[in-house]
Structure 1
């Protein structure tokens, strides 16, 4: 052992830190050499070879807990174990790529939380005269709808697409948002609710198809949460929606109760 090297030299030769070498010792991956007459542990070629093997496997992604059995395995077991490690690394790579893609979508705003079709709907709204607060409220409603009622989400998007293609609905929706500046007892609120209900009844596609309506009816609690979102910030709009829905239920439309 006189010709061996110190732990610092061994670590430098192998390309790791002294702390890492000690870490390998703690995990039983590399035996600690005996101390020489000077009291120093001297690492010979056997220990250096083992350090290189452990370092290489660890760098390849093999968990430390699996390195010992792997080095002690026969050729067939070694090959099978490496294949298993490769499979797990491939899964991790796919997961990391998916996370990276999510970060890229986050940088693009809505696209991290909503599909392209929903983003296209939101992108159309400013050009139709809807203000940023209205668009923001619709964005949040879409995010909640996708998360809470996924089976009704596509139908909800179709419903919004029909609404944005209906000039009369667009005018009523803008008035509804402007109603936030009205007094709570303004008679125009009741009149606007009647006009909105009449428009829905005149063009049922604005309410969604039977599958979409059924999905929302079966998720009344989620519907209530989504419908009441921002209700404290836009109380007139919330009241207008409630009045409109009451009129629609009276006409036989299966609107979930809030």
Structure 2
């Protein structure tokens, strides 16, 4: 791949395959795995730039596969709007050149997400709270996305609390991740931090991610998604702890 040594290129290809595998089994996790692993090999900014095209392609695929696109847009547009605003604003931290700080922030985000998902009980949001809670959740998600490149906090627990059926839930997550990816791309380009070389490399990584997704969808037929998801979250927890501690020691 462009601008990288062969060992690093192999690591990038393997990372996107593994991230696609997780997404194929669980329906989510590609950006989180890719940012977590690549953020430990590269700067979080470089990892975020590599993530853009594979994340966009795989999440648009997930978004358009469901039947309720129009309904979800009408219901979730305030959240999507504030995700964009928060991400563009939050990307100032990711593009600010403070690599140690962004590494710590990424590690903390992974730890919080993994710990919450492993231990917390599912939430339920009353329909009367949704009109004002959705924009707040979107803004916080955007700020976290812009600062760390991780799309899942607190958007995923919130969307899971909206009493959607399984197909609509998967499509709603695809919508949130697609909007987050577009917003992150806008933030990086706005700050001149998405060089063409990285975008070309990111495009090549799509093939690896799609192969991983296909393998994950096959694997889902003979492995327990719940067990796989738990092991994946434990891995993220340990990775986040290592990144946060490493970043703190370098500050």
Given the two structures, how large is their TM-score scaled by the length of structure 2? 0.22
- Report 1 or 2 for greater relative contact order, CA contacts < 8 Å, sequence distance ≥ 6: 2
Determine which structure has more spread, i.e. the larger CA radius of gyration: 1
More helix by share: 2
